[in-house]
């Protein structure tokens, strides 16, 4: 399968701590995207990292990509209760399809 495999499946932290989620995939990609989904809502795009990039930042988010290991990580710094959501990595394959990983369920306790 081309989809991302995410680790951990669930993560519970205290407000103010950092949260790290990892994603691995199997085939070549054009880019890799991360999305957030709050309960009962649609997905929200967080960040896109291209295959020729190694690291990207957006506010409290930091994404890394290692194409040699076919892996990516999402770091959320100084987490807030509002960050509680499911996070999906989505490798974007050469055919143009976005294939979502199984997701990490993040719980940030106040």
Partner 1 sequence: DTEVTQTPKHLVMGMTNKKSLKCEQHMGHRAMYWYKQKAKKPPELMFVYSYEKLSINESVPSRFSPECPNSSLLNLHLHALQPEDSALYLCASSHKISDRVILFQPQHFGDGTRLSIL
Asked if 43 is part of the footprint of partner 1 (rule: CB under 8 A), the reply reads yes
Q: Which of 20, 31, 67, 77 binds partner 1 (CB under 8 A)?
A: 31
Asked if 101 is part of the footprint of partner 1 (rule: CB under 8 A), the reply reads yes
Q: Exposure string (b/e) for 60-91, b if CB count within 10 Å is 16 or more?
A: ebbbbbeeeebbbbbebeebeeebbbbbbbbb
- For partner 1, the closer CB: 33 or 71: 33
| 64 Cβ contact partners less than 8 Å away, ≥ 6 residues apart | 49, 54, 55, 72, 73, 75
Asked if 95 is part of the footprint of partner 1 (rule: CB under 8 A), the reply reads yes
Asked if 40 is part of the footprint of partner 1 (rule: CB under 8 A), the reply reads yes
Q: Which of 42, 52, 59, 110 binds partner 1 (CB under 8 A)?
A: 42
Q: How far is the CB of 27 from partner 1 (least distance, A)?
A: 15
- Can you tell me the distance from the alpha carbon of 69 to that of 22, in angstroms, rounded to the nearest whole number? 12
Applying CB under 8 A, the span of 17-25, 44-52, 55-63, 69-77 interacting with partner 1 comes to: 44-52
């Amino acid at each position: 399968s081309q989809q991302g495999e995410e680790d951990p499946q669930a993560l519970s932290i205290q407000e103010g701590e950092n949260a790290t989620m990892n994603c691995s995939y199997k085939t070549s990609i054009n880019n890799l995207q991360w999305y957030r989904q709050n309960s009962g809502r649609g997905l929200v795009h967080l960040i896109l990292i291209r295959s020729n990039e190694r690291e990207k930042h957006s506010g409290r988010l930091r994404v890394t990509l290692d194409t040699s290991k076919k892996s990516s990580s999402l770091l959320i710094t100084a987490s807030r209760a509002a960050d509680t959501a499911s996070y999906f990595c989505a490798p974007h394959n050469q055919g143009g399809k976005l294939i979502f990983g199984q997701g990490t369920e993040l719980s940030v306790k106040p």
